[in-house]
Structure 1
Amino acid sequence: MKASPRISMISKLSKSDKAFFVALMSKAFSRDPLFLYLFGDSELDNTARSRVKSFVSFMFDKSFLLHEEVWGCFENESLLGAYIVEKPRANQLQRIWGGLLLIGRLVPLLFRMSGRTLHLLNAYMRVTRSSSAPPSAHHYLIMIGVEPEIQGKGVGKALLNHLLNRVNADKTSLGVALDTENKENVYLYRRFGFALSRETSFDRLPVYCMFYQKNISCLEDWKININN
């Protein structure tokens, strides 16, 4: 039985951590319902594995271009888990410029994905971000993953607590939203204070939209901040 890892630190990832992030998240999401639906079984099919790695690589690049944050949990120099979060009220000019630069990263992805997959990705974004996300300023947890061999050892808990601490300290945010296609995750996130805000479907795949609302004292601090 593998011992619980000693988490030495949670720190923001740099561009030099890309290879570690892609390797970790490709494994962490290999059994994810959405990834299986979009890309196929990456544990059995080389084409599916290549598509998953290409998509995760794109998500990592996107995070830097659009000024999202990527945080990782380390044991010594080994990356055990990571998450990407979109921050509220990002500078609009920066996002526009980042979006233009992102086109260069998108082109290679187009050659690795089928038209159907790209269509489904766009449809998924419309379902989750456009129609289900709360209108108030908030963080959005894009993805969070842990090395499969050490899942259940406290790494995911440490990452979520780190995220929520940062959200609670951010006066511009009223909370954090996320979407999951795995019903078991709903119970896990509820333990951290998330509530199920909407249950919908995406091309017959169930989608659970959840939101963590900051406590009353945090909300009062936020109101004082914007009124001043």
Structure 2
Amino acid sequence: MSTIEITRLNTKDTENIIDIFFNTFENYPLMQYFFGNAYKQSMKHLLKSMCDQESIVDNLVLGAFLEGELQGVAFITPPEKQNNHDVESKTTSSEEEFATAIGEKALMRIEAYSNLKKANKPPSPHFYINALGVHPQSQGKGIGGAILSQVHQMSEQHSDSHGVALDTQTKENVGYYQRFGYDVSNTAELENVKNWFMFRVNKN
């Protein structure tokens, strides 16, 4: 069985990160809610925004390599960066470019999701998995589980973190995360998209 190696990524990995997330989330309910039929073009703008320098610095970006090839990625916000996302900051040129590219309707829907996520964050310090994707050709090989295990270990070794939080928009994913010790803390609707907010308490 091939060994899965988990390492931290940076902006030099942007092209591969975009490829993995684009293929993973093509038919995902949240992306359809954001962009509708404009998914292919708008999703690439979203991914480029996620991979810009400021976003990479604010987030812990983990990659899973299988036989030397990047096959899984997770964007994680650690406890010490949580409050940074709650403070109003000056809009950057890249953010303005992103807003123009995707249009006002999609931008409003992304903001609605962001506000819903903030409202359902656990009150205690935690790691938040904002996105986790495994390339479709490599799903079922333990890559997602390896990334989760790494995040769980980081949380349990962190002096302030009480656990790991995430959200998902499919019932299938709820069952998957429950196998790793997550519990559903709340559910909420965004128009016709159901959101499950989940939390895993540190085990030690």
Structure 1 length-normalised TM: 0.82
Q: Which residue of 2 aligns with 1:57?
A: 48
Task: Return the match for 1:123 from 94, 101, 112.
Answer: 112
In structure 2, C-alpha distance between the alignment counterparts of 1:116 and 1:91, rounded to whole Å: 27
Instruction: Please say if residues 180 and 207 of structure 1, whose CA atoms lie closer than 8 Å, have aligned partners that are also in contact.
Output: yes
Query: Is 1:177 matched with 2:165?
Result: yes
Deviations 1:71-98 (A, max 9, x none): 101124421001010011239789979x
Q: Which residue of 1 aligns with 2:174?
A: 186
In structure 2, C-alpha distance between the alignment counterparts of 1:189 and 1:78, rounded to whole Å: 25
Deviations 1:65-124 (A, max 9, x none): 4x2100101124421001010011239789979x54x61221221121121110011111
Q: Which residue of 2 aligns with 1:73?
A: 64
Instruction: Please say if residues 63 and 84 of structure 1, whose CA atoms lie closer than 8 Å, have aligned partners that are also in contact.
Output: no
In structure 1, C-alpha distance between the alignment counterparts of 2:35 and 2:72, rounded to whole Å: 22
Gaps of 5+ in 2: none
Q: What RMSD in Å do the two structures reach over aligned CA positions? A: 2.2
How far 1:199 sits from its partner (Å)?
Answer: 1.3
Identity of aligned residues (%): 27
In structure 2, C-alpha distance between the alignment counterparts of 1:94 and 1:199, rounded to whole Å: 22
Gaps of 5+ in 1: 42-46, 219-228
Amino acid of the residue matched to residue 173 of structure 1? Answer: S
How many residue pairs match? The answer is 203
Q: Which residue of 2 aligns with 1:106?
A: 95
In structure 2, do the counterparts of structure 1 residues 135 and 184 end up closer, same or farther at CA, with 3 Å as the change threshold? same
In structure 2, do the counterparts of structure 1 residues 30 and 92 end up closer, same or farther at CA, with 3 Å as the change threshold? closer
How far 1:14 sits from its partner (Å)?
Answer: 1.6
Amino acid of the residue matched to residue 126 of structure 1? Answer: N
Query: Is 1:19 matched with 2:19?
Result: no
Larger radius of gyration: 1
- Structure 1 stretches of 4+ moved >4 Å: 91-97
1:139-178 alignment runs, 5 A limit = 139-178=127-166
Instruction: Please say if residues 59 and 77 of structure 2, whose CA atoms lie closer than 8 Å, have aligned partners that are also in contact.
Output: yes
Instruction: Please say if residues 31 and 39 of structure 2, whose CA atoms lie closer than 8 Å, have aligned partners that are also in contact.
Output: no
In structure 2, C-alpha distance between the alignment counterparts of 1:176 and 1:69, rounded to whole Å: 13
In structure 2, C-alpha distance between the alignment counterparts of 1:78 and 1:115, rounded to whole Å: 37
In structure 2, do the counterparts of structure 1 residues 104 and 7 end up closer, same or farther at CA, with 3 Å as the change threshold? farther
Instruction: Please say if residues 50 and 56 of structure 2, whose CA atoms lie closer than 8 Å, have aligned partners that are also in contact.
Output: no
